[in-house]
Amino acid sequence: MNAHYSIEVRGQLSEASNATFFCVDAASGKEYVYKPVRGERPLWDFPDQSLSGREIAASEMDKLLEWDLIPSTEWLSNGPFGEGMIQEWIPEIDADRPVNLFSPGSVPSGWINVLQGHTQGGDSIVLAHANNESLQKLALFDAIVNNADRKAGHILAVNTDRFFGIDHGVCFHDENKLRTVIWGWAGSPIPPELLHTLKVCAERLGDPYQPIDRWLSPAERTALRARLENLISTEIYPSPSPEWPAIPWPVF
């Protein structure tokens, strides 16, 4: 990869949990997000300096599924702040955001309610998401990779029907940690065409599959395959676990 990129840092995303930089490739002018390993904040439940690699593993899983849900993501071994992941920058269209908060009665037609709550002022509020194929795939993808942090802000809309998922650093844990804002299909049957894709993916994944396995521990590799086989055998979307918070915080 390094032979094709000359990365220039143009700024830092100040609200990101870990060091995250907005960069431009001097040769092509293309824009990227760069997350160096040395900028990762230690977590109690994930191995240190493993988050960037998990982003690569998530991208490779997306390639196996052929769903095109994740922007182009690669490993950069000699970035400005050391090795890490680099991902295509996707400009978001806020007006087409597929997950949002609404007052009761104002949820768009066809959207799926996820939960109800109250603002600090006591007003009722509803978290809801759109009902379309792209988001349905993303919900299934998160179940496969065991995404522990699918916030609404981690879903970027490029139009009303096309979305990208980003920030997959806390995926692939061997314990159940699925937390997401797109629970709308929980307990529902997986559509036949998506179920067929899972079966094909399981065959392609095999054991081993180095593009993904190299970033995971032995226990995580086993758990990944078990989650995939469980989805195939049950043929339904998973439901929230009582042992782990179902919704990430903050939601956005």
Three-state helix/strand/coil letters over the chain: CHHHCCEEEEEECCCCCCCCEEEEECCCCCEEEEEEHHHCCCCCCCCCCCHHHHHHHHHHHHHHHCCCCCCCEEEECCCECECEEEEECCCCCHHHCCEEEECCCCCCCCCEEEEEEECCCCCEEEEEECCCHHHHHHHHHHHHHCCCCECHHHEEEEECCEEEECCCCCCCCCCCCCCECCCCCCCCECCHHHHHHHHHHHHHHCCCCHHHHCCCCHHHHHHHHHHHHHHHHHCECCCCCCCCCCCCCCCC
Is the full-model pTM beyond 0.85? yes
- Whether 117 and 199 map to the same domain: the answer is no
Q: For residue 243, what pLDDT is reported?
A: 81
Q: For residue 4, what pLDDT is reported?
A: 59
- Whether 217 and 124 map to the same domain: the answer is no
Residue pointed to by tokens 């379309």: 132
> For the sheet containing 99-102, what is the strand order?
99-102, 124-129, 112-118
pLDDT in tens, the chain (252 residues): 443 568 888 888 877 788 899 999 888 889 999 999 999 999 899 999 999 999 999 999 999 999 999 999 999 988 889 999 999 999 888 888 999 999 988 999 999 999 888 878 888 999 999 999 999 999 999 999 999 999 998 999 988 778 999 999 999 999 999 999 999 999 999 999 999 999 999 999 988 999 999 999 999 999 999 999 999 999 999 999 888 789 888 777
- Whether 134 and 212 map to the same domain: the answer is yes
- Whether 184 and 89 map to the same domain: the answer is yes
- Whether 104 and 222 map to the same domain: the answer is no
- Whether 120 and 54 map to the same domain: the answer is no
Residue 242 domain-assigned (yes or no): no
Structural domains counted in the chain: 2
- Whether 49 and 114 map to the same domain: the answer is no
Q: For residue 69, what pLDDT is reported?
A: 96
Residue 228 in contact with residue 144, Cβ under 8 Å? yes
Helix 51-65 to helix 192-205 angle, to the nearest 10 degrees? Answer: 120
- Whether 87 and 135 map to the same domain: the answer is yes
- Whether 157 and 195 map to the same domain: the answer is yes
Residue 248 domain-assigned (yes or no): no
- Domain membership of residue 34 as a residue range: 2-94+129-234
Q: For residue 1, what pLDDT is reported?
A: 41
What's the angle, vertex CA 144, arms to CA 1 and CA 244, rounded to 5?
115
Q: For residue 2, what pLDDT is reported?
A: 41
Residue 98 to residue 217: CA distance in whole angstroms:
33
